A and B are shown apart, each in its own frame.
Chain A
Amino acid sequence: AQTVTQSQPEMSVQEAETVTLSCTYDTSESDYYLFWYKQPPSRQMILVIRQEAYKQQNATENRFSVNFQKAAKSFSLKISDSQLGDAAMYFCAYRSAQKGTYKYIFGTGTRLKVLA
């Protein structure tokens, strides 16, 4: 069975600085998707970025980028120029690419605090 591990329960970053959130996963599959979701205090789940395992190039969305290391099964999120609005829980998630149930497996989350 696949697992997703986020080893940092909480992180802090100064406004305008850069922070990296860690995520590791375990799977025997070769084709899958990885995601980062943001959950602000409003409780809404917001997709931040996604990565297809077959793509070697790291995904980037504005100030958010990932460092995808397939062999190491590592998928970290880098937030550049941190803003107060980035404060939230961040969840890493895994999903198989095999046609079927499309179940997502989530990590336990990292709470990000942004200091003014």
Chain B
Amino acid sequence: NAGVTQTPKFRILKIGQSMTLQCTQDMNHNYMYWYRQDPGMGLKLIYYSVGAGITDKGEVPNGYNVSRSTTEDFPLRLELAAPSQTSVYFCASILGNNSPLHFGNGTRLTVT
């Protein structure tokens, strides 16, 4: 049982490049989330999904896109990378109301 798996662990992008951060979970969780963590700013919610085929914006969605074609996968897409998107990105999932939030190990992204 791997939990929440994020790839890659690290990535450096040039301004204007695009990439997809992968997130997959094997716990059959319906709810999945993408957070970014900036120094001194805590975790901010980018996008979330309450089930396959359903996604919605969080606090800081600009510059990102997501999809949820299966229960297991919730990739985050950056179309035109900008230096402001330099951050650590966390994917997380939860089964339901009375269960804990499971985190992936994060992706450190640098845009130069």
CB < 8 Å neighbour of A47 from B31, B44, B50, B100 = B100
Interface size class, chain A: 20 to 34
Instruction: Bits for B25-68, please: 1 = Cβ < 8 Å to A, else 0.
Output: 00000010101000011111100101000001010000000000
- Comparing A14-22, A58-66, A67-75, A94-102, the segment that makes contact with chain B is A94-102
Q: A9-B40, A43-B105, A91-B43 are in contact. Are A104 and B33 (CB under 8 A)?
A: yes
Q: A43-B106, A45-B90, A101-B56 are in contact. Are A106 and B42 (CB under 8 A)?
A: yes
CB < 8 Å neighbour of A102 from B31, B44, B58 = B31
Judge whether B111 is part of the interface by a CB distance below 8 angstroms: no
Judge whether B23 is part of the interface by a CB distance below 8 angstroms: no
* Chain A residues with a Cβ under 8 A of chain B: 4, 6, 9, 35, 42-45, 47, 50, 91, 95, 97, 99-109
Please give, as numbers and ranges, the residues of chain A lying within 8 Å of B41 by CB-CB distance: 108
Please give, as numbers and ranges, the residues of chain B lying within 8 Å of A101 by CB-CB distance: 31, 48, 50, 56
Q: Is A44 a contact of B103 with CB atoms below 8 Å?
A: yes
Closest approach, in angstroms, between the C-beta of A5 and any C-beta of chain B? 10
Judge whether B88 is part of the interface by a CB distance below 8 angstroms: yes
Closest approach, in angstroms, between the C-beta of A23 and any C-beta of chain B? 11
Please give, as numbers and ranges, the residues of chain B lying within 8 Å of A9 by CB-CB distance: 40
Chain A residue with the shortest CB-CB distance to B103: A45
Closest approach, in angstroms, between the C-beta of B94 and any C-beta of chain A? 5
Q: List 13 A-B contacts (CB under 8 A).
A: A42-B105, A43-B88, A44-B105, A44-B106, A45-B90, A91-B42, A95-B101, A97-B97, A101-B56, A104-B43, A106-B35, A106-B42, A106-B43
| Separation of A105 and B35 alpha carbons in the complex (Å) | 10
Q: Which of B80-109 contact A (CB under 8 A)?
A: 88, 90, 92, 94, 96-97, 100-101, 103, 105-106, 108
Q: Is A103 a contact of B101 with CB atoms below 8 Å?
A: no
Beyond the given A99-B97, A103-B45, could you list 7 further A-B residue pairs with CB under 8 A, ordered by the A residue number? A44-B103, A45-B92, A97-B97, A103-B48, A104-B33, A104-B45, A104-B101
Closest approach, in angstroms, between the C-beta of A1 and any C-beta of chain B? 9
Chain B residue with the shortest CB-CB distance to A52: B98
Q: Is B105 a contact of A103 with CB atoms below 8 Å?
A: no
